[in-house]
Every structure is written in C-alpha cells, then in structure tokens.
C-alpha cells in the first residue's frame, strides 16, 4: 500500500489541478493499492491536521480547472520555526501528522518559499517530492514552471487590448504585470504584446531615459507608447539605496504601486497623458493554457514515477527540453533572475524595446 499526501502552497495559479491529476493518475495506473490524502490550505493543513482522503474520481474533470481543489495559503518559511499563537511547534506538528497517516511520501506543489519549507521537511526525515509552481518562472533548477505560460497569455492579452485604446487616444499606457523580484513574466508578456518599454526588477531604470524613449517615438510619428512594468520594477536611484533607506523611503510613498509613480513622473516631465492598467490577480486565474496542461501533466507523471520507485528529496523540473529530477537542497532558497546580459534582453533591444537603462 502506497500512502501519498498532497498539498498546494503559496499563491495559486493555473495547472495546479492538472499537476495533481498527473501525479495521482500515474500512481493509480501503476498500482491499485494506493491511498491519497489531500492537506487543505497548504502547509496549514499539514500543521493542523486538516486533510481529507481522496478518491481517483476527485481528480476527474479537473485538467482544465484553474486554482486548486485543495485550497492554498501562504505560510512564510521564516515563521516555520516559530511557535504559533498557542505555542504549537509547527515543524513537529507537520511531522506528527505525516507519521500519523503513515505516509510514504508528501507531494508539495509550490514556488520559492514553498520549496524552502519542503527542503526543511526533507532534512527532518520526511520523504518529499515537489513540483515547480509559479507564474513568475523564478524557481532555480528548472527552465520552466507551470502557470507561467498561462499568466503570460493573460498579461499579453491585457497589453493587446490596450493597444487599440492607446492608438485611438494617442496616450501613454502602462500595464503593470506581476513580479516583485523577478521579471520573466513582464519580459515575455511585454515582447509578445509589442510593448515599447519594459521595466523589470533586474534592470533598474532611469526615468529620464524612459521619457526620452517615449519622446523619440513621438518624433518618429507614433501617437502612443505602451510600457510593460513589473510590480517590482525599481529606479536606479532607489536601487542604489540600502535596504533600510529604501524601506524608509517607501513608507512615505504616496503611490499605490510603482506604475503610478512612473506614470506621474512621465506626465510631469513630458506633459503627455498617461494611464495605468493593472490586470492583477487575473494573471493567476482562469483555465490553464494547453501548454501548461501538457507540461503540468508531464511533471505530475514523472513525480508519480519517482514515488513508485521510492526516490525522494527531489523537485521534478525541466531542463533542455527534458523532464529532470533536481535535488531539493539545490533548489531551496535560490531564485532564477533575468540576467541583464541575457540573449533575450539583447534581442529585445535590437527590436527597439527600451528597458530604461
């Protein structure tokens, strides 16, 4: 009898259900002696013993369904070693519930913070296999994460829709794309949507150069300009500050996000009419795109194979167009940033896209 626990942690995204379906179908097709336990609301479910036994039928019809049938929550890694408000040791509680159900393995789907906790559980002796979920595509050890392509599609659609109104009114439009620390989503959506300026966290911008790029377009006869701005985009001036200085400055910031600050500065310096559009959580929602359905199913299937072989302590990743297993200790705590010298950045600049640098 194989007893497998499942949980989805952190921000939700498309194809979580597809990935879990892939895990369960591959295990059930390999053995008819399987018990599946789903922990509800991420690590909270594992901590407080909130789970339910699942049947194969629970994974039927969810391939195209967004979100997660198990629910999710954010449980910061930095608080995992701290007792909860009632003095409960979270790590010991997770271990207790794992052993209480006599689990052979815990399958964890999540992003960077989720993987840090997953690796912690591995060091505590639990059998863990993880799957790379995040719309940011920022997990170390994998070229792709599921949810990313679906989010790119949605962000690109937002930019596509802005094109017509921007052209009609001759305005500067900013589309704010998700991504606090890493700019893969903004970069790809910006290129796909034909943005003229792309601002990402890894390439601090100079507002003077942003305005110059806009004015150059106007001089060439373009009536509008579209900027794809990551929510974590940062100016060169702010990037030069210490963390303490930056935090103090941000506390006095009157703008709801960086996009509104950039908009105000462009309008003040150029006199042009600027509008901001924030697709927000729509980028996480809806049905997964075909790519993510296939990709998540493949990852899930490979995770099932690892479980049946008793190979634990790995993230199932994707490198050089092949599914691979990556040691969890090599993944946890690392982010995959966009290099300012990356080929895709150079190619984008050759297309005439400005990064404000």
Task: Identify the CATH number of the domain in which residue 46 sits.
Answer: 3.40.50.450
**pLDDT at position 253, please?**
82
Same domain, 31 and 136: yes
Same domain, 31 and 96: yes
Number of structural domains the chain divides into:
2
The secondary structure of the chain, three-state, reads CEEEEEEECCCCCCCHHHHHHHHHHHHHHHCCCEEEEEECCCHHHHHHCCEEEECHHHHCCCCCCCCCCCCCCCCCHHHCCCCCCCCCCHHHHHHHHHHHCCCCEEEEEECHHHHHHHHHHHHCCCCEEEEEECCCCCECCCCCCECHHHHHHHHHHHHHHHHHHHHHHCCEEEEEECCCCCCHHHHHHHHHCCCCEEECCCCCECHHHHHHHHHHHHHCCCCCEEEEEECCCCEHHHHCCCHHHHHHHHHCCCCCCHHHHHHHHHHHHHCCCEEEECCHHHHHCCCCCHHHHHHHHHHHHHHHHHHHHCCCCEEEEEECCEEEEEEHHHHCCCECCCCCCCHHHHHHHHCCCECCC
Give the residue numbers marked as catalytic: 136
Same domain, 12 and 74: yes
Does a structural domain hold residue 356? no
Q: Region 92-112: what's the mean pLDDT?
A: 97
Same domain, 245 and 227: yes
pLDDT digits (tens, 9 = 90+) for 213-236: 999 998 998 989 999 999 999 999
Distance CA 352, CA 357 (A): 13
pLDDT digits (tens, 9 = 90+) for 278-309: 999 999 999 999 999 999 999 999 999 999 99
Does a structural domain hold residue 6? yes
Does a structural domain hold residue 131? yes
Q: Region 72-98: what's the mean pLDDT?
A: 93
Does a structural domain hold residue 58? yes
Same domain, 6 and 143: yes
Distance CA 124, CA 206 (A): 47
Same domain, 167 and 123: no
Provide the CB-side half-sphere exposure for 209 (13 A, CA).
Answer: 14
State the pTM of this model: 0.94
Residue 155 has pLDDT above 90, yes or no: yes
Find out whether 18 and 297 touch, Cβ atoms under 8 Å: yes
Share of the chain above pLDDT 90, in %: 85
Same domain, 303 and 318: yes
Residue 197 has pLDDT above 90, yes or no: yes
Q: In this structure, are strands 2-8 and 105-110 parallel, antiparallel, or unpaired?
A: parallel
Does a structural domain hold residue 344? no
Does a structural domain hold residue 336? no
Same domain, 176 and 279: yes
pLDDT bracket for residue 44 (50, 70, 90): very high
Look up the domain containing 250 and give its range: 150-284
Same domain, 266 and 304: no
Long-range contacts for 310-313 (Cβ within 8 Å, ≥24 apart)?
312/105, 312/122, 312/127, 312/128, 312/129, 313/122, 313/127, 313/128, 313/129
Residues forming beta bridges with residue 3, ordered by sequence position: 35
Does a structural domain hold residue 340? no
Same domain, 80 and 126: yes
Does a structural domain hold residue 92? yes
Residue 75 has pLDDT above 90, yes or no: no
Distance CA 1, CA 307 (A): 12
Same domain, 140 and 252: no
Terminal alpha carbon distance of the chain:
58
**pLDDT at position 216, please?**
94
Same domain, 118 and 220: no
**pLDDT at position 235, please?**
94
Check which CATH number belongs to the domain holding 275 and give it. Answer: 3.40.50.460
pLDDT bracket for residue 182 (50, 70, 90): very high
Residue 35 has pLDDT above 90, yes or no: yes
Find out whether 188 and 338 touch, Cβ atoms under 8 Å: no
- In which residue are the tokens 């030069």 written? 240
**pLDDT at position 99, please?**
97
């Amino acid at each position: 009898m194989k007893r497998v626990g499942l949980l989805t942690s952190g921000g939700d995204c498309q194809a979580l259900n597809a990935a879990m379906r892939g895990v369960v179908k591959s295990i059930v097709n390999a053995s008819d002696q399987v018990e599946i336990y789903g922990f509800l609301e991420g690590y909270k479910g594992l901590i407080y013993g909130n789970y339910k036994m699942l049947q194969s039928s629970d994974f039927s019809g969810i391939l195209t369904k967004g979100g997660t049938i198990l629910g999710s929550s954010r449980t910061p890694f930095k608080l995992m070693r701290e007792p909860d408000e009632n003095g409960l040791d979270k790590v010991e509680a997770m271990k207790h519930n794992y052993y209480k159900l006599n689990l052979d393995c815990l399958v964890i789907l999540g992003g960077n913070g989720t993987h840090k906790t997953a690796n912690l559980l591995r060091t505590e002796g639990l059998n863990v296999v993880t799957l790379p979920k995040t719309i940011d595509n920022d997990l170390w050890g994998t070229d792709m994460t599921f949810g990313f392509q679906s989010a790119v599609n949605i962000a690109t659609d937002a930019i596509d829709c802005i094109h017509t109104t921007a052209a009609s009114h001759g305005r500067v439009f900013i589309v704010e794309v998700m991504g606090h620390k890493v700019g893969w989503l903004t970069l790809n959506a910006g290129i796909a949507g034909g943005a003229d300026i792309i601002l990402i966290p890894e390439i601090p911008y100079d507002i003077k150069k942003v305005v110059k790029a806009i004015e150059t377009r106007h001089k060439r006869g373009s009536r509008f300009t579209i900027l794809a701005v990551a929510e974590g985009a940062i100016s060169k001036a702010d990037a030069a500050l210490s963390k303490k200085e930056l935090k103090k400055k941000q506390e006095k910031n009157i703008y709801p996000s960086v996009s509104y600050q950039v908009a105000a500065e462009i309008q003040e310096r150029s006199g042009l009419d600027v509008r901001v559009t924030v697709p927000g959580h729509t980028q996480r929602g809806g049905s997964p795109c075909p790519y993510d359905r296939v990709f998540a199913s493949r990852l899930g299937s490979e995770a099932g194979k690892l479980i049946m072989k008793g190979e634990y302590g790995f993230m199932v990743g994707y490198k050089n167009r092949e599914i691979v297993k990556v040691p969890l200790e090599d993944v946890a705590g690392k982010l995959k940033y966009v290099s300012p010298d990356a080929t895709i950045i150079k190619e984008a600049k050759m297309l005439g896209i400005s990064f404000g640098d």
